[in-house]
Amino acid sequence: MDGSIDDKSEDSPSSSGSSQPQNLSTVVHTITAVPTAIPNQPVEEDGEGHLVRTDTDIGIEKRREILSRRPSYRKILNELSSAEAPGIAKIEEDKEEEAAITSIQTTIPSYVQTSAGQTIQIAAANQNELTTQGLQTITMTNAGQGAVTAAAMPAGTTIVQYTQGDGSQQFVTVPVSISPAGEVQAYQIRAPSSLPAGVVMATPTGITSPQQLAEESARKRELRLMKNRYKNREAARECRRRKKEYVKCLETRVAVLEQQNKTLIEELKSLKELYCHKAETE
């Protein structure tokens, strides 16, 4: 433990609220702090016979500390739960979150309407792809719902309106080029993390030049990072929740052990008195 626990909030998670402290006294676990001992670690004496580490060694220890991690909160708490049975609620796997993500995936709109009133089909680039914060990568193609004329898209752009899964309207500025046949070229609409929510960018597909390839790979990388960020955000939330639960559990154990200690001290005291009294009478 590094002692840097910053989650001191009192808003207890619902699952931990059901913890039963009375069962905690049955088993005493040893939570191993790492590292407990570092082999071959040079030390100095402080003049009083105590061994003191030098400053340079602290860096090494820190590194070792980083390298040798303690088991996860989930493992520790689940271990506590299994040993102490009904005392502590197990940290559950999060099935609901997966379901939530799935529901986001299905909110990709099918059609958009240009500022001139044409309807354009929006097909998800990959329906199975994880979408983040309501942002999605979608490919816009002409659905053949009437010819889109150049007049409808002055200066090579158009405002695209689409309806999200929740019914809210979104407007997107999209650069559009028209083929000689009057068809709209395929574009991808995306939302990089640098843009505020609700604002998306559009980039063309059918890339040929090396620069475009580089841009495309950068875009893919950005999308991948976005997905990772989303997942990690969720993971961090869960991790903090578990950490809170774990700390709460430890605090409860401390309280129980303190009480136990008090009781034992009292017991020892009374036994001593009894012994002394008996010795006097003899």
Partner DNA sequence: GTTACATTCCGTCATTGGCC
Partner DNA sequence: GGCCAATGACGGAATGTAAC
Minimum distance, C-beta of residue 198 to DNA, in the bound complex (Å): 15
Comparing CB distances to DNA, the nearer of 6 and 282 is 6
Burial of 162 (0-12, 13-18, 19+ CB in 10 A): buried
Check binding of 64 to DNA (CB under 7 A): no
Comparing CB distances to DNA, the nearer of 58 and 265 is 58
- Other Cβ atoms within 10 Å of 248 Cβ, number: 18
Minimum distance, C-beta of residue 122 to DNA, in the bound complex (Å): 25
Check binding of 277 to DNA (CB under 7 A): no
Comparing CB distances to DNA, the nearer of 1 and 27 is 1
Query: Is the Cβ–Cβ distance between 77 and 246 less than 8 Å?
Result: yes
Interaction residues for DNA, span 126-165 (CB under 7 A) = none
Instruction: List residues bridging with 201 in a β-sheet.
Output: 190
Distance (Å, whole) CA 252 – CA 20: 9
Comparing CB distances to DNA, the nearer of 7 and 258 is 7
- Select the residue interacting with DNA from 159, 201, 243, 250 (CB under 7 A): 243
Q: Which stretch binds DNA (CB under 7 A): 16-24, 65-73, 104-112, 263-271?
A: 65-73
Q: Which residues bind DNA (CB under 7 A)?
A: 2, 4, 6-11, 66-70, 72-75, 193, 225, 228-233, 235-240, 242-243
